[in-house]
Amino acid sequence: MKRMFVLFAFLMLSCTTYVQDLKAQSEGTLLVVPRLDLDPAYYGGESWGFDLGSTSLYTLFEGNISKNLSFSVCNHWFAFTSDIEDAAELYRLTGKAYECNWVDWANLTLKLGNFFISAGKDYMRVANFEIEEYDYNSHWQMNSFLWNNFQVYQWGGRVGWQNTDETLTVSLQMTTDPGMYRFFETTNLANYAYTFNTFYEGETVSVMGSVTHSGSWGWMGALGAKVGVTDVLTLGTDLNVTNFLKSGSLSLEAKVSDKLGLVGKVGYDAFSSNWDEYEFAGRFFSGVLCNWYPLRDSEDLRVHFMVAPSVTKTFLGSDTDLYLSAGATYFFEFNLF
């Protein structure tokens, strides 16, 4: 009986120590991001329009469960452009693969030495810096056709390797396909999407490349690069090639001061003549974005101003649009555990 008591006490002490160790290693942060946009636009050189653009509410909840197990959950709770129907659309699209819904991603990642494996909903690792950017920091008017039409938030898994100093990552990802109507609507693996991605992030240079085969889009190749030209200037480029689209963009980011940043961008989408889903022949997109942080001791509040002209070429002519935006984004951060 005494031996049983000693064994029980030892097990209880071991479990208590294990739980305390897990608590010491676990951490979780919640970021709440409301955004308001006021977006007038001049369409085709003929008429003015107005909507609330990317007005939205996001949350990002991520952290570590243990030393080797981490999680990340990003929710898009609210989107409102012109009427309440837009806000409800996020929830009506639950379970649909071809469009955004209220869950951007929700996944677990297990690290085993230099290797890792993740499962859940995630973004497809198409090698573009405009896709790597959080949606609440993006402006669709300045982005490519791929960003606006290729639904990267999909369910699946990813395995990869990362070097010890975490500057180089190589991974292979399998996901549901953006062309599916519903997630996992078929068991035919040929209809899923597969992405091989490599990403190097140094002090002044970041480069990524990927090859994707999508059941609906076919083969895709992508390349992204950013170079810190000086301490305050960063030059970036994104290149995409599919069986019907060739796209490229060039961006310049300038840190004018601790409270002011500027981004300029130009790009072009060139569509192949054998692609007849739309009557597009090409699209020139561009923009200038100003980000201002008015609070004295933090960057929790960001005020933006944007001007983004674009020219869309069709087989019948061309249309010129001018997009304007003014708005504010606030970042509330909470350490939960």
pLDDT of 89:
86
The verdict on residue 72 lying in a domain is yes
pLDDT of 20:
47
Kindly report the pTM of this predicted structure.
0.89
Mean pLDDT (the chain) is 89
The verdict on residue 13 lying in a domain is no
The verdict on residue 3 lying in a domain is no
Q: Is the per-residue pLDDT at 9 higher than 70?
A: no
> Which residues 6+ apart lie within 8 Å of 214 measured at CB?
177, 178, 179, 193, 220
Q: Where does the pLDDT of residue 6 fall: very low under 50, low under 70, confident under 90, or very high at 90 and above?
A: very low
The 10s digit of each residue's pLDDT in 94-112 is: 999 999 999 999 999 999 9
Residue 259 φ/ψ, nearest 5 degrees: -110, 0
Q: Are the CB atoms for 150 and 128 separated by under 8 Å? A: no
The verdict on residue 260 lying in a domain is yes
Residue 161 φ/ψ, nearest 5 degrees: -135, 140
State the average pLDDT over residues 328-337.
96
Q: Where does the pLDDT of residue 13 fall: very low under 50, low under 70, confident under 90, or very high at 90 and above?
A: very low
pLDDT of 44:
77
Structure tokens at 161: 């390797």
Residue numbers of the domain that contains 256 = 29-335
C-alpha pair distances (Å), 49 with each of 101, 120, 178, 277: 25, 39, 30, 26
The 10s digit of each residue's pLDDT in 255-307 is: 999 999 999 999 999 988 655 555 678 999 999 999 999 999 999 999 999 99
State the average pLDDT over residues 163-172.
96
The verdict on residue 236 lying in a domain is yes
> Which residues 6+ apart lie within 8 Å of 262 measured at CB?
253, 254, 256, 288, 289, 290, 291
Q: On the CB side of 199, how many CA atoms lie within 13 Å of its CA?
A: 17
Q: Is the per-residue pLDDT at 311 higher than 80?
A: yes
State the average pLDDT over residues 221-248.
95
First vs last C-alpha separation in the chain: 40
> Which residues 6+ apart lie within 8 Å of 185 measured at CB?
97
pLDDT of 276:
57
The 10s digit of each residue's pLDDT in 179-195 is: 999 999 888 888 999 99
% of the chain beyond a pLDDT of 90: 73
Higher pLDDT, 315 or 69: 69
State the average pLDDT over residues 8-31.
56
Top mean-pLDDT range of 14-23, 41-50, 285-294: 285-294
The verdict on residue 23 lying in a domain is no
Q: Is the per-residue pLDDT at 47 higher than 80?
A: yes
pLDDT of 45:
67
Q: Where does the pLDDT of residue 83 fall: very low under 50, low under 70, confident under 90, or very high at 90 and above?
A: low
Higher pLDDT, 125 or 21: 125
pLDDT of 86:
66
The verdict on residue 217 lying in a domain is yes
Q: What is the CATH number of the domain that holds 230?
A: 2.40.160.10
Q: Is the per-residue pLDDT at 14 higher than 50?
A: no
Rg (CA), the chain: 23
The verdict on residue 20 lying in a domain is no
The total number of structural domains in the chain stands at: 1
